[in-house]
Structure 1
């Protein structure tokens, strides 16, 4: 059916389709129960594929002693299994490395829900399958419906059997093809009785328990329903990819409220089933109250519940606030949520009377958002008993001691004051004791102090004294009001203290991250960034920290604290996995969970730039939500700093390339002019001599020959300059350090210049006491000639060039001065740069721009210095000053 011209495919559907490019295809043979023939059907199809020429390999197949199934493996290539020693037993496991090395077109991996032996790369076999698919290998596998994570509790209630191995629902959702292998319950029970499913003893136990007609019918319905949902997803994807008009479903979005209790697992699974049925995205949300961070076993339970939600396909969000309902509804409205799912146990009489339960508050305040309440089917202690347990057990011994001490102090002060002054209202003393307990320890200590104050006030200050009897009715009312005020004031003061402590910790964390970001902002070196990151992470999280970054196409540890940390082969495998897959790996994750380190990728918009590994101290609790946020912030800041360091390095390289490009352009410009001009002159003169040589007079021929000689010398000097510059830049210049007479070198260079520039007037003045210097006579002579050449070009025709040599302390100073236009102050250093030329002077073209640069290189190679001064004479001209150390 063609799509209408004005309709376009859904971009998200096309992106999903594009994401499958380069990946293998996953085919799941799904059954309602063991024994329906999943493995048999899978191997039968595999044999047909083999006959059709497909490269098929059996990675692992469990026949469970079934001869018909074992016969189907004959003729198929079977990978050798990996042997693992576990508690004195040898276990045979699927060898994923051998499968990746063999790299067949199609591989058979049976029992998708299998749990791998400890120390395997992945704890679950479905993760091995995901890696194979990511490597571009097609995988066929088998799965029973009871192993789907969202159905674990449902199957347990139906069959009474606890399912211990599970697979996330996302595996089925991402499968390219789901094939249902189905037989009727009657036929399956007959197969069980015939011994085709289990051995006889096991078969009898199974028939009495799991394999009952009602159980099998319910499991069969679950399998068929889940397959129907999968077919619906495939149809919707096809319609969206091809822009076909159809009845589209509404965009449902769910939130499930997760707490630190086992009941939340039931709620999460129910929400997962609901989201799958609605084909909706969903969020798992937990709300933390400031000053009351979850810890200990409760934190471990909360993290397990959130990880379960992630496995079922939820996105986890952590909120912070006192108003649980308000925070949840705020997120729901921001994320366009249509339904909120939460659990509710049996309400206490107080909750029923006040309507203060979370479910009731959500129902009253949710307005247009639907609320689904999951009832608790697991037996628990009555809520009232739990409330009293919390009230009694939560105060610490320190809080109890503080409450008793403050009340005792109030009694002592009141009794003492009563001997000196009339004390009509001693209740204020006890109120102070309550507030002191609240502000020093907390609100439970304050409530304890309020109760103790109630009895102490009655016993010591209300007539009749030293009894708990109250004579006057108004005293009863006053005492009751005092108790209410004391409890409320203590509770409020305690809340203020807890909030202040929470804000203090939050401020300390923010300040710590601020200092860290400030430190990183001033760093441009990658090594400094990495060391700052590991030092801050170790100081904040109190564990061993490493950071690895790519170095020469291989991940290597670039910074660690303590510095003596070493990673073994298994650690490096998890580290590389985290970098390549951009997923958390290592301790407590789905990849190598038994190692000490948890590796997290350092991600930027351009991909992973490194990996941070954290190993907490032995026996330490999992990271708290606050520590988790700090770690995420450290990773984000480090990623930005690494990006900035790489950009700085790239800028330096770019600047060097730009400078190289400028030099190349200048060199080409010099070559195009300074080579072509003398060559053109030489070529023209030679051509004239060949064509008109016999017709020309002697004087004209001599002029042409002199022109050829002059231009050839000029060309020779240019080539010599290029060779000298290449020697300088390559570091191949080895200047001799012989004793030489500066006066002789100056005279030789001046004589050479007079021959090269016969019209130039050169004046010399050489001091008589010039000491010898150590240097290279040829190089120094070349420097002096280059300077005289420059003076000839820029000094003007009618002015002389002065050459002086004298002694100053322990140095010999040689100066060459012209009387040209001079050099601007800003250019006095630039004239020594390669290819720098100041333009035409008096109609003559400038040189190559290498003379002064070569001169500085030669002089510095001999241990001297060369500088320029301008103006030099009568506010004109340029003086080049050479200083060489005098020899001993």
Structure 2
């Protein structure tokens, strides 16, 4: 019968609870962000932040003032006194010295907590990041906690609402995703009347010379009340989101069906308002949202200004937390609705502008098409008649698709002349109406090759040419038959329609061709990379496949033990600005450089080569045309290329590691065979030699004194050599997996007593004592092997302890195991050698300051035996352990191992 794994109703979901706890108590090095949030300037955010910082300093935190603007206010300035302040960095811009936050200085100082006033501040050109919130992100990534201050009007999602409310567009904003990712939000609030009183007393900072205007416009009581409401609502929404997350983990409200919002973006400036509206909608509904741009054939008609605007709007949406989707299609409304239905969207947000009256009969709006064709999907239409400045639909904008090079219009005229020449050949052999098809064919050719504008010209010229040359009377624009009116009309309409459709089809074909070209590049790069295993060839293939199609200079910087190695070899070393961007990408695993938010003044775009959360190198791309910007679509392609290259480099590394592992495995097998053969071959002659020397030593009365001394020395060396051979045999048995363990229950005191008896002769003047904590249960072990572990560890302690030193054996019960610690007060271990000393042939004098001649196998044998018992063994310097056990603090080392407690009697087993 299968167990019922269904979770009872109302019972918390353990996976969700675990994830929630991990998010709160994660051991990741990222710092914590606390935002002091207010409705406007003057509510006391900086004062509250400084007060909290002083309390943290009193608790022992390392607090540093990064940037605090007290603007001459004595109460605020008094709180700064006594706190360490980071000197500001001076940057020269257009002959003016600007003082900005020193990010590198803060990272070098690395305090526990740093204060960053004016979270939305824009940095001076030449700074690493254009915005202060990006500096804060880098501080957090480096494990530094941050306190920051922020006004509600600086949140990106409410920027348009604040503008409509106060008439002031706030240019310095912070993405809502940064605000939402803060670990703690502290709302700082005072009544509006108190704030106006503070303004009248001069305690609120406004721009110099703008007090009167600010008081009359921005600091109206109605405005302050509305801003205060925004701040309170935004804080409440955050609390609700956290509560919903906890309720979901506790098994509540799981039946609620969430929404999924799609926002449609275009080149119209209305898109900025749509983005903020969709963001607020997603926050209120706690729903994911996607910003979608449909790249139809009309995309080819956009000028550079419109294309740049589309990229800006997509980046804005991404900064507010939207997922970006780029679609291709020829039927906008149908393609959008099909994608929405396939991916479970419940709402589509689209903008609407009322078209001019003269254009209404000819073109339906996109919003109308969506509403008419939607089936079960809610369509939210945002009207663009108010709010942000509207760009009117001008005649120039309407005829823009028809514009082309003058040469194209000349070629269209030449095509009409060619059609006329061909018509002359057939004029006397076929009715004149059939000759109209020649002109129609010419219009199709012009539309397909030259575009819509030249095809319209060809259509218009074809009618009078047909009339002049092929209707009676010839070479005049007169005609005898009135039915030619109908012929001319249909000829013109047909030419225009066919030309328009052909031009549109041609644009769509070019769009599909570009997509196919991108796919071919990606496929070619993937196929070529999959066939390579060396780093040099991978870099060569990547450079070849990316550079030419995009007119780029490609450089790969691959991490090696010696540092970054540039490919292709011999490439010119980048200047300091480029080198700084490359090093930043390696350290942070994020892209930087041109057309990004990090070091945008660099000439190149630098993307990290990430594989398994490790940065393997950097992909550097520099446009050969310095004026060409990298678009969002191109950057997405480059990120895909970087991912493929990183995967290939990771495969190359794994291939090298596998080859090294195979060689090491073969070496290990050969070493085990040699160990076993050598030890067996040495044991017999050593036994004979040891017996002969023992016999001679019994004849001490018959041998001279000098001979006895030499024999005694020889016997000691033979004993040592026999022990070495025994260690070789034990090591060979452990590594080959043929060691047999005879598990029996033992009292650990018996094993310790037997081991102490074996080492008594080598103790010398050292003190050896045992400390047992409480009543110890029996352990299930192979007694002889564990006795050998004690002997090896005690003798190791003797070798690294002075003749008057002390060795202590501690034993205590730890859950279902016994924990044994053998400590000495010798010189201790070198830092970093705690694990290496358990490897084979790591001699003591190399790792500890000792005078012994150890073989380097004793500790490796101990590890093998303990692990065969299911225990663990490790070493620590005593300064790393609690020193309440009587040992001299801070001296010597301890070797700790665990043994399983006997729960049942087991028979001999082979491991």
When residues 630 and 180 of structure 1 are mapped into structure 2, their CA distance, relative to the original with a 3 A threshold, is closer
The answer as to whether partners of 1:523 and 1:529 remain within 8 angstroms in 2 is yes
Cα distance change, pair 527–464 in 1 and its aligned pair in 2 (3 A)? same
- Aligned 8 A contact 1:296 1:621 in 2: no
> Which position in structure 2 is the counterpart of 1:69?
76
Q: Which residue of 2 aligns with 1:218?
A: 226
What is the aligned partner in structure 2 of residue 414 from structure 1?
423
Asked if residue 85 in structure 1 is aligned to residue 92 in structure 2, the reply is: yes
Q: Kindly provide the CA deviation profile for residues 581-627 of structure 1, in whole angstroms up to 9, marking residues without a partner as x.
A: 33221222121111112111122245332211112235433235664
Corresponding residue for residue 449 of structure 1: 458
Q: Is the 8 A contact 1:170 1:311 kept in 2?
A: yes
Q: Distance in 2 between matches of 1:9 and 1:636?
A: 30
Q: Is the 8 A contact 2:402 2:452 kept in 1?
A: no
Q: CA deviation at 1:448?
A: 2.6
Counterpart position of 1:38: 45
The answer to whether the 8 A contact 1:544-1:616 is kept is: yes
Which residue pairs with 2:495 in the alignment? Answer: 486
Specify whether residues 79 and 202 from structure 1 end up closer, same or farther in structure 2 by C-alpha distance, changes over 3 A only. Answer: same
Quote the Cα distance in structure 1 between the aligned partners of 2:237 and 2:454.
Answer: 55
Pairing partner for 1:23 from 7, 17, 30: 30
**Cα separation, 2, equivalents of 1:126 and 1:248:** 37
Residues 1:400 and 2:409 are matched in the alignment? yes
- Which of 321, 329, 336 is the equivalent residue of 1:321? 329
Q: Provide the secondary structure at the position in 2 that maps to 1:367.
A: coil
3-state SS of paired residue (2:187): strand
Give the C-alpha shift of residue 308 in structure 1. 0.5
The counterpart of 2:237, out of the listed 229, 254, 258, is: 229
Would you say 1:166 and 2:173 are equivalent positions? yes
Query: What is the aligned partner in structure 2 of residue 705 from structure 1?
Result: none
Calculate the TM-score normalised by the size of structure 2.
0.70
1:72 partner SS: helix
Q: 2:666: which partner in 1?
A: 659
How many Å apart are 1:12 and its aligned residue?
5.3
In the aligned structure 2, how far is the partner of 1:447 from the partner of 1:565? 52
Q: Where does 1:762-841 land on structure 2 (aligned, <5 Å)? A: none
Alpha-carbon separation, structure 2, partners of 1:190 and 1:174: 34
Matching residue of 1:433: 442
CA distance in 2 between partners of 1:20 and 1:246 (Å): 30
Alignment of 1:658-807 (within 5 A): 658-679=665-686
Q: Check whether the contact 1:115–1:125 (CA below 8 A) recurs between aligned residues.
A: yes
In the alignment, which of 598, 607, 610 is matched to residue 600 of structure 1? 607
- Distance (whole Å) between structure 1 residues aligned to residue 117 and residue 74 of structure 2: 16
Q: CA deviation at 1:223?
A: 1.2
Instruction: Evaluate the alpha carbon distance shift between residue 91 and residue 67 of structure 1 in structure 2; reply closer, same or farther with a 3 A threshold.
Output: same
Deviation at 1:314, TM superposition (A): 0.9
Task: Tell me the distance in 1 between the aligned counterparts of 2:394 and 2:212.
Answer: 46
Q: Give the Cα separation in 2 of the matches to 1:643 and 1:670.
A: 40
Where do residues 279-678 of structure 1 align in structure 2 (5 Å cutoff)? 279-289=286-296, 292-293=299-300, 296-348=304-356, 353=361, 356-376=364-384, 377=386, 378-380=388-390, 382-383=392-393, 385=395, 388-393=398-403, 395-415=404-424, 417-418=426-427, 423-463=432-472, 472-552=481-561, 554=563, 556-560=564-568, 563-624=570-631, 627-628=634-635, 630-678=637-685
User: Does the Cα contact within 8 Å between 1:295 and 1:624 map onto a contact in 2?
Assistant: no
Q: Which structure is larger by alpha-carbon Rg, 1 or 2?
A: 1
Return closer, same or farther for 1:254/1:20 CA change in 2, 3 Å cut-off: farther
Which consecutive residues of structure 1, in runs of 5 or more, have no partner in the other structure?
Answer: 692-711, 720-888
2: distance between equivalents of 1:392 and 1:337?
36
Deviation at 1:366, TM superposition (A): 2.6
Q: Which secondary structure state, in structure 2, belongs to the residue aligned with residue 425 of structure 1?
A: helix
Contact 2:40 2:224 in 1 (8 A): yes
- Determine the structure 2 residue equivalent to 1:756: none
* Cα pair distance change 1:499/1:119, threshold 3 Å: same
**2 CA distance for matches of 1:20 and 1:357?**
53
Report the CA distance between 1:570 and its aligned residue: 3.5
Deviation by residue 1:404-453 (Cα, 9 ceiling, x = unmatched) = 11112223333464367764522112112112212332344323312221
**Counterparts in 2 of 1:171-320, with a 5 A limit?**
171-198=178-205, 201-241=209-249, 243=250, 245=252, 250-289=257-296, 292-293=299-300, 296-320=304-328
**Equivalent-residue separation in structure 1 for 2:142 and 2:639 (angstroms):** 29
Residue 664 of structure 1 deviates from its aligned partner by 1.0
Rounded to whole Å, the distance in 2 between the matches of 1:15 and 1:665 is 45
SS in 1 for 2:210: helix
Between Structure 1 and Structure 2, how many residues are aligned?
691
Gap change, CA 1:468 and 1:604, over 3 Å in 2:
farther
Q: Do the aligned partners of 1:582 and 1:608 also contact (CA within 8 Å) in 2? A: yes
Instruction: Output the CA distance in 2 between the equivalents of 1:550 and 1:662.
Output: 32
Once the 2 structures are TM-superposed, how far is the Cα of residue 642 of structure 1 from its aligned partner?
A: 1.1
Contact residue 23 and residue 135 of structure 1 kept, 8 A: yes
The alpha-carbon distance between structure 1 residues 81 and 501, as it changes in their structure 2 partners (threshold 3 A), is: closer
- From the superposition, tell whether residues 505 and 337 of structure 1 become closer, same or farther in structure 2 (CA, over 3 Å): closer
C-alpha separation in 2, matches of 1:246 and 1:522:
51
Question: CA–CA distance in 1 between the matches of 2:226 and 2:613?
Answer: 49
The more displaced of 142-151 and 295-304 is: 295-304
Given the superposition, is the C-alpha separation of residues 449 and 625 from structure 1 closer, same or farther in structure 2, using an over 3 Å criterion?
farther
1:564 match: secondary structure: coil
